Structure 1
């Protein structure tokens, strides 16, 4: 690029060359040059949340006489454009940057100031856009806003889609008996609907867990400014800005109960990440069960069939794999890894500030985004299309040695174990083996009692 492609900007450290058409200015450019690490900028959801904070702050600064009406209106209009996603490309700073997020906060201040200036009102990035604020309280506030909105608007509805899909399938297969399994070994019968209902409950409980942590995520550090004391913040600023944020975002945000806790820790985000990990762990179990039950078609369990979505091999014609459960598993592994990073980052608070906030934001928001997308896809392109091989499932259930369990009350545990082992060795059914071993002939139980005890459906609802 030639010198004509740049313009000169300055900040407190001197002059910097900035791409001519960029909306950002000197401090953003310094950060771009200082942190060429991953090539991954902050999440768009966080960019939009920063815009929300800036717009609300400008509105209240006008009410409190910190900004004049023209300045505030210009900042709000520019910030609203950021919220709308119109300028995401103007936020190029790598996520691995200064731990307070100061670079991204100044990126927003500069972009908004430039937009306001182009619309006819000159405002200063620090003096006006950042008025009554510090990166140390606005950046974490934006993370909390972004996380709360992402969970409420995207993840919770996605969980409802998946739980509803699993619930419908639970009802559809409420009468489909199959062998239960513990330790991957045969166990007493269950209904396929019962298993699917358990999966639905796992997803529903994840929603409950998210609902319980959201009030703490919605508790915002805004107003603490640099260290928690609220220096340079006019009285009533935080309370009023948070009220405006709540109204505009449709979320019940509240001011931090203790600004020193809110400034120095990110514990509520660590807690949220832990809930996301818990859901991911549950989803791993669900996806692996679906893979096991659909394994085959001739050498596996083949109890259910998942929708055929794409060819499964570049060399084996006709092979179809459980691709969506596999993709979802990888999402879950990523979320579990993200939580490990969030845990370490959350422990990186020193005195009045956590200094790993950008990576906390990246990982929490990515986890929410991935889980929401994967949950919807798993529901709509996999679970909704599940069919069951009910004859095969019944055959497994009736041939399992574990169906001997109800005979314990007639012949005792040790005798029942001998029956099971002999039936397995001879390839006979439990009923045939009981009769062959003379239990009915000796009157230890009647054939009617035997039939009742070995009714696999009744074993699922004792």
Structure 2
């Protein structure tokens, strides 16, 4: 491999001749070979969009030569579109509040800009990573702004995905509206419910998650770009400061605005804690839904088996024919990861000191991972699980008939003590409650058919109230 020699504050270093990154990224890669992962590509895209906006604003303010500025803007647009993705080599676990990522982006854009105007990579006399690409900026306003831009896009995407999941659950609510089944509280038999009502609760929970995330996007729109090192805007021209937000707004399509207090946004990361908290709430709901579906589909012969989940893959290397509820297990694991990420984000945000939070790279890594895996999990769950769920109506009816749960609906017709005696007799004689009731002569088959219907058992009021009125 051939190398070029680059210099920085600490001395000289060999950089691969064909590399678009430079000495700062190379030092970072050598200093922090921690996880084997790289900075999130959505963060890199957002960083490049910030660099593109900055170049255009610097040209407009007369701070940057038009040819150089145009090349920088063009190179940044290439990176924002996904170009040169393999050149972003720094680990997400790094010191420096994101300086390593910022310099990696600066160097890649600088070297691509040099190529655009006809030079050779590494000839920073033509386009310099700091003098030109980072002009009027600091890592401390670029990185938080880019994280907000990245998060906005991913939050909106997740909100859309949750809307799709909500629709799928509502479709199942309608499909299962007439499927009467045994309700359960504290894992014990409870009063009847319809399978559709259970799915309606899932749909409502997801709807709340969708709306909360859709609204929190507004909290991310204020940015500190133009605040430079500590939010005061030192070394940033006023024309640049007021133009750069408009340029970034046009590039991203998001309703961004410059914060009225850029010192606040430079040092405080609580908005990311807020977003992560809503992701955690969403994860909690998804884990609860997934857990319910695993339980309702358990068996198929030795469990509840009130629903059938779509079969995705063979489930065992030793037990032939076994099929596991893998989609619900995947969603549960993703949910736990998001909950864990939320705790890390809270710790990192609380560790900021004075004018800056040095742990923003950790916040970025965990927040963007949570958004990505949650969005992917929701879409897979929707398509490969929820849409294909089938009800086993016979199984639902069997558990209801074999339980004593529906006696609650008969209490107004029998009285509490007689009803309790019926339950005790059914348990002692190991008979179905329906059989004991009919043997008693207190209720007829017609009475039971009138009272024990989905419409009577699963809505407010006394089941079979018309019968009581007749008797009255």
Is the Cα contact below 8 Å between 1:99 and 1:357 reproduced in 2? no
Matched, 1:132 2:129: no
CA distance in 1, matches of 2:278, 2:134: 33
Is the Cα contact below 8 Å between 1:170 and 1:197 reproduced in 2? yes
Identify unmatched segments of 5+ residues in structure 2: 119-125, 461-472
Q: Which residue of 1 aligns with 2:404?
A: 401
2:180 to 149, 164, 177: 177
Q: Which residue of 1 aligns with 2:325?
A: 322
CA positional deviation for 1:447: 7.2
Q: Which residue of 1 aligns with 2:99?
A: 102
Matched, 1:372 2:375: yes
CA positional deviation for 1:99: 4.2
CA positional deviation for 1:421: 3.5
CA distance in 1, matches of 2:339, 2:416: 43
Q: Which residue of 1 aligns with 2:123?
A: none
Matched, 1:219 2:222: yes
TM-score by length of 1: 0.94
Matched, 1:265 2:268: yes
Deviation track 1:235-272 (CA, whole Å, cap 9, x = no partner) reads 14344222222222221112223212201111111111
CA positional deviation for 1:407: 2.9
* 1:54-453 correspondence runs (5 A): 54-120=51-117, 122-152=126-156, 154-436=157-439, 440=442, 451-453=449-451
Is the Cα contact below 8 Å between 1:290 and 1:325 reproduced in 2? yes
CA distance in 1, matches of 2:427, 2:455: 21
CA distance in 2, matches of 1:378, 1:179: 25
CA positional deviation for 1:435: 4.9
Greater CA drift, 156-165 or 139-148 = 156-165
Q: Which residue of 1 aligns with 2:453?
A: 455
Is the Cα contact below 8 Å between 2:97 and 2:360 reproduced in 1? yes
Number of residue equivalences: 453
Identify unmatched segments of 5+ residues in structure 1: none
CA distance in 1, matches of 2:107, 2:49: 15
CA positional deviation for 1:415: 4.5
Q: 1:414–1:66: structure 2 CA closer, same or farther, 3 Å change rule?
A: farther
CA distance in 1, matches of 2:342, 2:177: 36
TM-score by length of 2: 0.92
Deviation track 1:341-380 (CA, whole Å, cap 9, x = no partner) reads 1111111110011111111111111111111111111111
CA positional deviation for 1:446: 7.8
CA distance in 1, matches of 2:370, 2:276: 8
Q: Which residue of 1 aligns with 2:465?
A: none
Q: 1:237–1:405: structure 2 CA closer, same or farther, 3 Å change rule?
A: farther
